[in-house]
Structure 1
Amino acid sequence: MPISPNQGSTGGGFAATLTGTGLTGATVVRFGTKPATITASSPTSVSVVAPSGAGVVDATVTTPAGTSNPVPFYYVLPPVVLDVSPSSGPVAGGATVTVTGRGLATATSVLFGGTAVTPTVLSDSELTAVSPAHAAGEVALAVVALGGSATAAGAFGFVAAPTVTGFSPVTGLPAGGTLVDITGTGLSTTTGVTFGAVPATFAVLSDTRVAAVAPAQAPGTVTIALTTTGGSDTAPGVFLYLL
């Protein structure tokens, strides 16, 4: 006599169906010692709302003719979300987000606000999900699993692409080391600054300012590009490495 599903949340309250023969007039369905609420029955199936429980229990059906053979049912602990990385992504979606925690093996969906996506479960402690397109702003991120759901402690941010409006000074020495002030909008989630193809050390000062240290380069001109979790943009003009 199979039961479907054969696992569920320790908190109970979910629907389950036992199928078999000779189930006419089912009076009691038990999960271990606890009775379930019968919602529908027929000679070949009994639908119930499962009670709370823990571990592995025997599910049985009792009819006027007797009690069925037991079938195992597995209670699953609710998931726990410990970390979400990155904690923001572009409004266009497409960011691969890694969620770590516990009880993630049975995850069926990840909710970005009200939008559900199907995760890739890597282990009981890790899964990934690709963020959907969403308007700029912060939303709750939650993992839904057979054991229940869990919401991350911090919000997930959907970030518009940055706009770089300028930088100063516009020249530096080939040895590098020039401190360059980059201005624009949407810069608070900056993840990288490049001078030409060379990465630069940087510090985010605000949503409108990033300070970067020009790396060593041969004399000549290069463009400055800035990347955030929302996308990337290239500053107008060029930076000149003096002879």
Structure 2
Amino acid sequence: MEGQQGFAQFNLYDIFSSFFPGALFLIGVMIPYVGSGIVTTELKIGNLVVWVILAFASGQFLQTIGGYVISGSDAFETRMRQITEEEESEYETTPMDIKFVENVREDFELDANYDAWKRIYKMILAQLESTSRNRTLRLQALYLAMRGTGVAMFLLAFLYVISVMLNDADIIKLSVPELALLPMIIITVGLGGASIVRANEFSEDTVSYMVFEYRLERDDA
């Protein structure tokens, strides 16, 4: 039963982190060319399978790019340095934060000077994934969904600009008027910015719940 639950959570995580932004990206890429002969909208099982695979692959590609733009481990590293090095922060360091750092170092047998927080972040996520505490992982999935969506929107805006230029040069014919793409460029840029902002918020929430759930799991052990 636990194995089936873990498998379901894995699929849900993948849907949010990879399939969702990848599907949005593919749909956005298709819009200017639907009906032009370049893109087919004929619904067949084979086409659907290929589309799903491409959506997952596109999502992975978007996350790879997103990793260079914003990383979830950055928020964790910042928070941990604020705790251990007493740096100024908008977050007030609590006794639970301090205890969390002590527990992590004890559980993973880390030296007091070890501060590779990005590596520790991955270790804690891996540990929580094997427990019943999944709020942190759900927030992580939402963070990745927003990050992937943000990257997808910015890439679409760039592709729309390129499409207009190629259409003007008679290299590729659009199936929609150029004027219709202009508001789409503005919309995608706006959605991209909003998605990145939301991703940052989810990233900070992930760290907060990670501290809380790690402590709960440790107390229950």
Question: For the superposition of Structure 1 and Structure 2, which TM-score range results when normalised by the shorter chain?
Answer: under 0.3
Larger Rg, first or second structure (1 or 2): 1
User: Would you tell me which structure has more strand in proportion to its own residues?
Assistant: 1
Whose relative contact order is higher, 1 or 2, with alpha carbons under 8 Å and at least 6 apart?
Answer: 2
TM-score (norm 2): 0.22
